[in-house]
Amino acid sequence: MHAVRSVDIVNLLDGMHAAGGFMAKSLSEVARVLVAMSRDLKCTKFLSFPAAPVATGLRGVLVEMVNKGLVDVIVTASGTLDHDVARTYADYYHGDFQMDDRRLHREGYHRLGNLLLPLDNYGPLIERKVQPILSRLYAGGRRSLSSRELCRELGESLDSNDSLLSAASRKNVPIFVPGIMDGAVGSQLWLFAQQHREFRIDVIQDENDLSDLVYGSKRTGAVIIGGGISKHHVLWWNLFKGGLDYACYITTAVEYDGSLSGAQVREAISWGKVKESAKTATLYAEATAVLPLIVSYALTKLGR
């Protein structure tokens, strides 16, 4: 394999696969699993990820995955809703991992890695945008919402080409948030319920919907970015149907601490969450650096 001035994404990743070299080959293998599950017309494709990538430019890649049919179901964290709402109406800024956090706090900035989120562009903005949506739904007779229904309503209200929630709503891709209360939007749900005591979040309905999706699928596959509750919820539900047929992990976590986030695909096989015969790959990498390459490869191979 040689360095090149002009890159053809398929030749690049196929060359990395042939050349070997630790994570270079794994990068190509993840891309190939994504292509395989996308070509399987009987496969329901899950995508799970934590909230942080949605604060970055990777949000656009996730939107493209939805728009181009690489995703059928999303499972994510509450902060995904926070960042998607906030970034629809306001800006985040480049920062640095080494910035003075005490100074940032005094000046009204939140730091997320090397990103800066002005305080007014986050919590207060989310409150201004979410409360009217909840009030409208309540006035129309809604007394409970599943996280799936909430995501659809938010997506329809945002109505932005840059919004992940909007893209999923337009493409009828359900978004499930098993930890819905753990974020700014979750806090708005709690706040709304203080004045509307009949209002409820129906997590059981989410589980019913997930059950229907899993048991209604001939085969299932998943692209799992990072870890946490989003990763586990995808794996856990697929356990009940004999495990995933395709699974690819993109992670920076290690397995020696016994964490779910660090657990490799092979550990999920022992639980029955992934089939013994499944096509699998694990890539140790930070998703913002590699997912654009993986998705570009897949879309090129699929002709989309």
Which tens digit of pLDDT belongs to each residue from 42-91? Answer: 999 999 999 999 999 999 999 999 999 999 999 999 999 999 999 999 99
pLDDT of 157? 96
Q: pLDDT at residue 18 above 70?
A: yes
Amino acid at 136: R
| CATH 3.40.910.10 matches 42-91+118-289 | yes
Which tens digit of pLDDT belongs to each residue from 245-302? Answer: 999 999 999 999 999 999 999 999 999 999 999 999 999 999 999 999 999 999 999 9
For residue 219, the cross-strand partners are 43
As to burial, measured by CB atoms within 10 angstroms (0-12 exposed, 13-18 middle, 19+ buried), residue 242 is middle
90, 110, 223, 225 from 121: Cα distances, Å: 6, 10, 30, 26
Contact 110, 121 (CB under 8 A): no
**Which one of the listed residues 45, 273, 275, 279 is annotated catalytic?**
273
Which tens digit of pLDDT belongs to each residue from 171-220? Answer: 999 999 999 999 999 999 999 999 999 999 999 999 999 999 999 999 99
249 vs 232: CA distance, rounded Å:
12
Can you say whether residue 282 is alpha, beta or left, with left for phi > 0 and alpha for psi between -120 and 50 degrees?
A: beta
Q: pLDDT at residue 150 above 90?
A: yes
For CA atoms 48, 54, 56, 60, the dihedral sign is positive
Catalytic residue flag (residue 273): yes
